[in-house]
Structure 1
Amino acid sequence: MIYEIKFAHGESNIFAETSASFDVQSSVILRSEKGLFYGKVLRKLTETNGIVPNFEILREASAEDLEKISALKKYSRAAKKRVRELVEVQNLEMKIVDVAYSFDQQQLFISFTAENRVDFRLLLRELAVAFRTRIELRQIGPRDAAKVSGGIGPCGRPLCCSEFVYEFPNVSIKMAKNQNLSLKQSKLNGLCGRLMCCLTYEDQFYSEAQKRFPDFGETVNTVEGQGRVIGLNVLNNRVKIRCGEYSKEFELAEIEVKHGG
């Protein structure tokens, strides 16, 4: 069986293999050729789609393991503070997002974002001296940074990407147009500064529903005469029509499209 694991080391979710069965959100201890790690079970894959797992789930985390993980998180927070201090001293244009020790403390994973290429060779040497363990620096994108950091979205709920979105969807401004949303970037962008993933959730419904509606500006016939479409209310199945000097809403079934009018 293959499980998707929320990897607790500042990178994308990973896939792990096991012959045992685990519940969603179970804390587990993992092994790869690089050592021991810990994470949380997100889901069991029903279709592997060619995925080749490079981790093995050893066991569900015991009370002793959870105590160690709690201590590691404390050490990681202290390490994050120290890493940020070294970055500031070197005046490097990079933002440290996450710092985490592996379960066996043989590696320290450091995730960061940067607008431009960063020469961190000197930083890497200083980190090796400061922590005396293997250092792995990873540059991640703004979406991954939001996923790692978490937060509250404009809907008032935890960010989808840090809760249940397994893969980032392809989001376009056309999805907002289909849903008749405000096109202001401040309203469409998430904490990551990119278009919100939730724009994809209802896109298929709106795309299919709008096939039944006339386009904006199209001429239609109504019981009150001809008019032009100036608004759509897909959810309520209504169309707003301007007829001369006034506008009014009609049920979709009450209008007849006059193409080329």
Structure 2
Amino acid sequence: MIYEIKFAHGESNVFAISDIELAPQTEVILRSDKGNFYGKIVREISEEANLEIHHTIVREVNEDDLQVIAKLEERSKQAKDKVRQLVIEQGLEMKIIDVAYNFDQMQLFISFTAENRVDFRLLLRELATTFRIRIELRQIGPRDAAKIHGGLGPCGRPLCCSEFVYEFPNVSIKMAKNQNLSLKQNKLNGLCGRLMCCLTYEDSFYKEAQQLFPDFGEFVTTSEGKGKVVGLNVLKNRVKIRFGEYSKDFELAEIEVNHG
């Protein structure tokens, strides 16, 4: 069986094989040629999928493992403070998002964000001298940072990316236009500062539904005469028509589209 594994820190999800059946959200210990790691099952993957697999699930996390993990997380917090201190001392324009040891403490993962290119060669040498283990620096985007930190979205629920979005979708401002949403950035952006992933959830529905509707600015014929389309309400199946000095809503079935 093949499973997708999520880590708490900034490393990308990986795929691992297992001889035992495991449920989503199960915490596991896994092994690769880089050492041992701990993570959480996201989902089972079809064995027919063409994937590069470098990890093997060793076992479910047990009580002894939980004690080790608790100590590792405390050490990781201390390491994060030290890394941030070194970044400040060197005046580097980068923001440390997360620092985490792997399960056998042979590797330290450091994820960061940066607006511009950063020369961190000196930092890497300082880190190697300070921690004396293998260091992996990984630059991530603002969406990845939000996924790690988590938080509440405008809907009041935990961020989708922290809960169940495994791969970030392609989101465009056109999706907001299709759904007749406000185009103000503060209304459309998530905590990451990018367009919210949830804009994609109903996009296919609106695309399909709008094929039945006239376009904005198109002229249509109604029981009150010929007018111009100035508004659409896909969910209520209504069209807003302007006739000279006034506007009125009509059911979609009550209008006739004039394409001429």
TM-score in same-fold range (> 0.5): yes
Cα deviation, residue 224, structure 1: 0.9
1:97-246 aligned within 5 A = 97-246=97-246
Aligned to 1:33: 33
Q: CA contact under 8 A between 2:2 and 2:47: conserved in structure 1? A: no
- Structure 2 distance, partners of 1:68, 1:136, is 21
Once residues 74 and 203 of structure 1 are traced to their aligned partners in structure 2, the CA distance between those partners, rounded to angstroms, is: 43
Preserved contact between residue 9 and residue 101 of structure 1 (Cα < 8 Å)? no
Give, in angstroms, the shift of residue 13 of structure 1. 1.2
Structure 1 residue 122, shift from structure 2 partner: 1.2
Deviations 1:188-229 (A, max 9, x none): 111111111111000000000000000001101111111110
- How many angstroms apart in 2 are the aligned matches of 1:35 and 1:137? 17
TM-score by length of 1: 0.97
| Contact kept in structure 1, 2:111 and 2:137, CA below 8 Å | yes
Distance between the aligned counterparts of 1:131 and 1:6, measured in 2?
25
Give the Cα separation in 2 of the matches to 1:95 and 1:64.
34
Number of residue equivalences: 260
Is the CA contact 2:38–2:102 (under 8 Å) kept in the aligned structure 1? yes
Q: Give the TM-score of the pair, scaled to structure 2.
A: 0.97
Q: Deviations over 1:19-71 (max 9, x none)?
A: 21111111100100000000000111136531121111000000110111111
Which structure 2 segments of 5+ residues have no match? none
The structure 1 segments of at least 4 consecutive aligned residues displaced by more than 6 Å after TM superposition are none
Inter-partner Cα distance in structure 1 for 2:249 and 2:50: 51
Q: What is aligned with 2:22?
A: 22
Query: In structure 1, what residue type is equivalent to 2:73?
Result: K
* 189-198 or 200-209, larger mean C-alpha shift: 189-198
Contact 2:189–2:196 (CA under 8 A) maintained in structure 1: yes
Provide the secondary structure at the position in 2 that maps to 1:174: helix
Unaligned stretches of 5+ in structure 1? none
Structure 1 residue aligned with 2:43: 43
SS of residue paired to 1:12 = coil
Query: What secondary structure does 1:212 align onto?
Result: coil
Residue in 2 that maps onto 1:70: 70
Query: Letter of the aligned partner of 2:235 in structure 1?
Result: L
Which amino acid in structure 2 is aligned with residue 62 of structure 1? N
Check conservation: 1:12, 1:144, Cα contact below 8 A. Answer: no
CA apart distance, 1:9? 3.5
Residue type of the partner of 1:181?
L
SS at match of 2:148: helix
RMSD of aligned residue pairs (Cα, Å):
1.1
- 131-140 or 92-101, which deviates more: 131-140
